[in-house]
Amino acid sequence: MKAWPFFAIAVVQVSLCLAHWFIYRTWIDFWWPLSQLAALALRTVVFVLAMSFIVAALLGFRFSNWLVSALYRVAAVWLGLLNFFFLAACLCWVAWFACRLVGVHGNRPLIAATLFSLALIAGVYGLLNARLVRIRRVPVRLPGLPNSWRGRTALLFSDLHLGNINGPRFSRRIADMAADLNPDIIFIPGDLFDGTHSDPNRLAAPFKDLSAPFGIYFATGNHEEFGSAAHYTEAMKRVGIRVLENEKVTVDGLHIVGVTYGDSTSPLRLSALLESLHLADGQASILLHHVPNRLPIVEKAGVSLQLSGHTHGGQVFPFSWFTRRIFGKFTYGLQKFGALQVYTSSGAGTWGPPMRVGTHPEIVLLAFE
């Protein structure tokens, strides 16, 4: 068994413990002195919360029942609140030292109460905002697009992360929204599932009633490949979704390509695969590639439009800063890389905390011009 998963889990757990310790120390230093019994109770609660998400996530990969699902939901919500409470704790010290610098007597309990209350409000807003899936309409012009495709629409939705947080009711909601838009074709560039131990047939069942004149196409994301990707892809095939596994199909003159996440991580494999599909023939092509990267390879292969997800736009502030540092302008929206166009969706669902602050969940209706 490989050692790196255990190392990664250990690093994350240590980081979570340090963040909880910092919040705990800030709270007791800024609030009124706690009694010995109250301090012990608070330390116990903080320790349990510090362990909760890793424990819930590990259980979620092995078991599927209402208790594990409930534990994961609580731990995921707390993880989101932790983010804002950590920021609040940092700002408490910044505000205190600022007061000291200007010679003002800062009221520590007032500073803590104000900033931690704002953190809680941000968390509640994030929970509500994550449920409001927007419909974004984007016009697209592709060189070499067959005349028959002009005026048609394609629906893009990614990163639903169906599992312990987003269940069959969420997939039903997305399927109903998609049906109401009446697209000509539907694209799903990965992470339809969260990768946890669950029943993919039950989660995908609502999509059985969804159809499009030119089909529904899917390529795997990293979460489908946490375990056996076939566990998920077989469920999708059963509801009528075409899974593209490093292959090309031509639909009414339009090339549609899907690459698996695992093969897309290797520049050599991706380059060889795309070159073998002979996309530089002047006809328009659309690539389902979960991560908005390897763009020089994709452009060289002659792809017209790459559809991606993965980033969630950062999902929760301040992680939007980090994704911008990694993916730059390709973190979100329709962008150009030479002759290649790239649309990166912020996704319809969430991973980890069921929150969105600074980003919005979406499904995207592309209108071919």
Query: Which tens digits make up the pLDDT trace of 1-60?
Result: 567 778 888 999 999 999 999 999 999 999 877 788 888 898 999 999 999 999 999 998
Domain region containing 335: 135-368
Q: How many domains does the chain fold into?
A: 2
Same domain (yes/no): 164, 289: yes
Query: Helix, strand or coil for residue 308?
Result: strand
Query: Which tens digits make up the pLDDT trace of 235-251?
Result: 999 999 999 999 999 99
Same domain (yes/no): 68, 153: no
Same domain (yes/no): 226, 324: yes
Same domain (yes/no): 98, 153: no
Last-in-domain residue among 103, 129, 155: 129
Same domain (yes/no): 101, 159: no
Same domain (yes/no): 349, 201: yes
What is the Cβ-side half-sphere exposure of residue 221, based on CA atoms within 13 angstroms? 27
Same domain (yes/no): 279, 165: yes
Same domain (yes/no): 151, 276: yes
Query: Helix, strand or coil for residue 177?
Result: helix
pLDDT in tens, the chain (369 residues): 567 778 888 999 999 999 999 999 999 999 877 788 888 898 999 999 999 999 999 998 888 888 999 999 999 999 999 999 999 999 999 999 999 888 888 789 999 999 999 999 999 999 999 999 999 999 999 999 999 999 999 999 999 999 999 999 999 999 999 999 999 999 999 999 998 888 999 999 999 999 999 999 999 999 998 877 888 999 999 999 999 999 999 999 999 999 999 999 999 999 999 999 989 888 999 999 999 999 999 999 999 999 999 999 999 999 999 999 999 999 999 999 999 999 999 999 999 999 999 999 999 999 999
Question: Could you tell me the sign of the dihedral formed by the alpha carbons of 46, 51, 54, 58, in that order?
Answer: negative
Task: Kindly give, in sequence order, each residue whose CB lies less than 8 Å from that of residue 266, ignoring residues fewer than 6 positions away.
Answer: none
Last-in-domain residue among 113, 129, 145: 129
Same domain (yes/no): 16, 118: yes
Same domain (yes/no): 121, 18: yes
Phi, psi of 109 (to 5 degrees): -60, -35
Same domain (yes/no): 200, 63: no
Q: Say what the pLDDT of residue 128 is.
A: 97
Last-in-domain residue among 108, 129, 150: 129
Same domain (yes/no): 232, 344: yes
CATH at residue 185: 3.60.21.10
Phi, psi of 280 (to 5 degrees): -85, 55
